[in-house]
Amino acid sequence: MFLESQTQQPQQPQQEQTPAPVQQVQVFIVEDDPMVSTICKNYIEKVNPYAVIGISGDESDALAKIRALKPQLVLLDLHLNKGNGMNLLKSMRKESHNVDVFLMTASKDSATVCEAFRYGAVDYLIKPFDFDRLRQGLRNYLKFVNLTVENKDIEQEEIDQYKYTTETTTSGSLSSLPKGVHYMTLNQLNEYLEAQENALSCQQISQALSLSKITTWRYLEYLVERGKVEVSLEYGMIGRPTKLYRAVR
């Protein structure tokens, strides 16, 4: 697993050739573990056209370097020896930096995940993660970059095509998601349910995640079909019973 062990070095993947109209996507890494930041740098630069232009493990130093270097993408750890990654994300938004952010952290509580997406994170990688997951995130981000690099109107179909369309299976491989189901939303909902002790209704879940009820229902039913979420019925005095959802444990 990527970043899982400091004693076992991951196998270096072969250099990819990814045709794209952009010449380079400049990346800044915020990570206070030198070994982890080095592995991240090596992996990122195996995916064209990404280039790491700076590394910092300190919140205030990272913000100063981001101001100066103006990267397009920041890979951000939340737990820093000097400072806090979430505070750095909020500072970047407060200062209106034109930068996208991947979170990479061991934090997987629903409050942190939701807060990260509310402050504009475009991906959330939970440590330990493998290279395939990082590469998939970079590939899909590149689709978005290529989509927006041209000065033109963007159609709904084009937006849908850039969204995450794969998920990690139990065997670790990547398989296709059905049309209209996107990885980030699916992962957000799945992580939220796994953190809950009690079964919840679709309405409760949609309100907690700031999603529409119909979108939440569609993703919940997909997770039920995949065997990752179970359903129970709660009967009231009148009307139809309410479906309650909880993660399968």
Domains of the chain: which residue ranges?
A: 25-162, 178-247
Please give the pLDDT value at position 19: 41
Domain spanning 25-162: CATH 3.40.50.2300: yes
Q: Is the pTM of this model over 0.75?
A: no
- CATH architecture for segment(s) 178-247: Orthogonal Bundle (1.10)
Q: Which of 95, 113, 93 is nearest to 103 (CA)?
A: 113
pLDDT at residue 176 in the model: 55
pLDDT band at 138 (very low <50, low <70, confident <90, very high): very high
For residue 144, what pLDDT is reported? 83
Q: Does residue 9 or residue 70 have the better pLDDT?
A: 70
Least confident of 141-145, 150-154, 176-180: 176-180
Tens of pLDDT, residue by residue over 102-126, are 999 999 899 999 999 999 999 999 8
Residue 164: pLDDT band with limits 50, 70, 90:
very low
Task: Quote the strand ranges of 96-177, DSSP E.
Answer: 100-105, 121-126, 166-168, 174-176
Phi-psi category of 200—alpha, beta or left, where left has phi over 0 and alpha has psi -120 to 50? beta
Q: Which one is predicted more confidently, 95 or 152?
A: 95
| Mean of per-residue pLDDT scores for the chain | 84
- Signed CA dihedral, 30, 98, 92, 117: sign only: negative
For 48-62, 150-164, 221-235, which range has the lowest pLDDT when averaged over its residues? 150-164
